[in-house]
Amino acid sequence: MFKKYELKDYRFNLVVLLIALTSIGIMVVGSALESVQNKQFIGMILGIIVMLVISLLDYSYILRFYWIMYGISVILLLAVQFFGKEVNGSKRWLDIGFQFQPSEVCKILLILFFARYLMLRKDNINTFRSLCITGILMLIPVILIEEQPDLSTTITVAFVLCMLLYVSGLSYKLIGTVLAIVVPCAIVFLTIVIQPDQTLLKDYQRDRIMAWLNPEEYSNSTGYQQSNAIMAIGSGQLYGKGLNNNSITSVKNGNFIAEPETDFIFAIVGEELGFVGSVIIIGLIGLIVFTCIMIGRRAKDLAGTLICVGMASLVGFQSFVNIGVATGVLPNTGIPLPFVSYGLTSLVSLYIGMGFVLNVGLQPKKY
């Protein structure tokens, strides 16, 4: 489980980037909702400790239990269906003395599972039988997450798993064929769901798409949150209004954004830290993604590469969706901004994933 490592291989730059981003997040979360700031700080300390411990564990040894990881993921997601706590019509949380969101933990477990699974099948990954089995294994957790319902996390998990499949050696011919089918289907799907009598999406999901397509028409209803978020970001201008400001013109202070500490945290970043603060946040996220990819390129095996690619894809795509929603580029869908939004399950889970990335970095390919 433990191996001898060389200190020069430890990626302290990644640790610094993660601490810097989370520290800014704690300040912004505190400005959005002061009562949860201490919890977020405790989450960061716990996450860092767990990350450092995991970074010293041999990931190759841990991945031997990959089927157990998959089983735990499915069991947790099934537990949500039967015993989950319902909030605003969604079952996404389990209460076992403390409340946590299993789908956040499952993101990491699934990355680890498929890292090992795909490495063992890299030589026949493009066969019909292998693709069918892999597809079924991917669909089971994706469907269980969608049933909560949690469309944003469903899309995120599906994207990350597709990236792992691509990096593992999926044929370009198959990718081209899938795109040739998916793109027209997506257009047809969008055409259908904007109809008033459609049954493919729930009403609130359709309304969010309509608010994205016609923001002015829905600015006082479904699009209210996004319209105010865009207004908040724009009002911050270059340097922002400052954290914990008392400005009466503040969108946050006027309570025009519900739960600004989570899904719309970037609106607080834009308003209080301005364009400069927003660029710093995006820059730190970009550097974290880039560092994960560079570590993956030097991994000793495909499993290590897939762990790094999985974490890079998760942080990058989830950040794109969160910021895209806050700026009106994408339809409104609830998903946290990695290492910035409030949420202990999300924060600690991400640090666990980064612990495995650090361990991959400690075992580089020998040239």
Which of 42-51, 206-215, 240-249 has the highest mean predicted lDDT (pLDDT)?
42-51
Region 287-310 average pLDDT:
95
Please work out, in degrees rounded to the nearest 5, the angle formed at the alpha carbon of residue 53 by the alpha carbons of 50 and 57.
Answer: 130
Pairing relationship of beta strands 85-87 and 99-100 according to DSSP bridges: unpaired
Judge whether residue 75 has pLDDT over 90: yes
Q: What does each C-alpha distance from 255 to 247, 299, 312 come to in angstroms? A: 12, 47, 34
- Residue 123 has a pLDDT of 84
Instruction: Indicate the SS3 state at residue 93.
Output: strand
106 compared with 216, residue with greater pLDDT: 106
Which residues are CB-neighbours of 158 under 8 A, at least 6 positions away? 138, 142
Judge whether residue 186 has pLDDT over 80: no
Judge whether residue 104 has pLDDT over 70: yes
- Residue 21 has a pLDDT of 96
Judge whether residue 219 has pLDDT over 60: no
Q: Which DSSP string do the residues of 304-341 spell out, in sequence order?
A: HHHHHHHHHHHHHHHHHHHHHHHTTSS-----PPTTTS
Residue whose token pair is 């027209």: 184
Region 156-170 average pLDDT:
90
2: confidence class by pLDDT, cuts 50, 70, 90: low
What does the alpha-carbon distance between residue 89 and residue 203 come to, in Å, rounded to a whole number? 12
Backbone angles phi, psi at 120, to 5 degrees: -70, -20
- Residue 148 has a pLDDT of 80
86 compared with 39, residue with greater pLDDT: 39
DSSP bridge partners of 91: 86
205: confidence class by pLDDT, cuts 50, 70, 90: low
250: confidence class by pLDDT, cuts 50, 70, 90: low
Taking every pair of C-alpha atoms in the chain, what is the biggest distance, in angstroms?
A: 63
pTM of the predicted structure, to 2 decimals: 0.90
171 compared with 11, residue with greater pLDDT: 11
What angle do the packed helices 265-297 and 12-32 form, to 10 degrees? 170
- Residue 308 has a pLDDT of 96
- Residue 147 has a pLDDT of 84
262: confidence class by pLDDT, cuts 50, 70, 90: confident
Region 55-59 average pLDDT:
93
What does the alpha-carbon distance between residue 214 and residue 210 come to, in Å, rounded to a whole number? 6
Q: Which amino acid is at 261?
A: E
- Residue 315 has a pLDDT of 96
What does the alpha-carbon distance between residue 156 and residue 146 come to, in Å, rounded to a whole number? 11
Please work out, in degrees rounded to the nearest 5, the angle formed at the alpha carbon of residue 266 by the alpha carbons of 263 and 269.
Answer: 140
* Candidate from 119-128, 228-237, 246-255 with smallest mean pLDDT: 246-255
**Backbone dihedral region for residue 169 (phi beyond 0: left; psi -120 to 50: alpha; all else: beta):** left
Judge whether residue 95 has pLDDT over 80: no
Contact yes or no for 150/88 (Cβ under 8 A): no
What does the alpha-carbon distance between residue 222 and residue 245 come to, in Å, rounded to a whole number? 28
User: Hey, how many other C-beta atoms are within 10 angstroms of the C-beta on 71?
Assistant: 13
What angle do the packed helices 102-120 and 344-362 form, to 10 degrees? 30
Contact yes or no for 162/171 (Cβ under 8 A): no
Nearest C-alpha neighbor of 352 from the set 101, 5, 59, 140: 59
Say what percent of the chain tops pLDDT 90: 48
Each residue of 282-292: pLDDT tens digit?
Answer: 999 999 999 99
Residues in the chain: 367
Region 134-146 average pLDDT:
92
What does the alpha-carbon distance between residue 269 and residue 253 come to, in Å, rounded to a whole number? 14
User: Hey, how many other C-beta atoms are within 10 angstroms of the C-beta on 163?
Assistant: 19
* Candidate from 43-57, 98-112, 226-240, 287-301 with smallest mean pLDDT: 226-240
Judge whether residue 212 has pLDDT over 90: no
In the predicted model, what is the mean pLDDT of the chain? 85
- Residue 235 has a pLDDT of 82
- Residue 72 has a pLDDT of 95
Sign of CA dihedral 357, 358, 362, 367: positive
What does the alpha-carbon distance between residue 202 and residue 183 come to, in Å, rounded to a whole number? 22
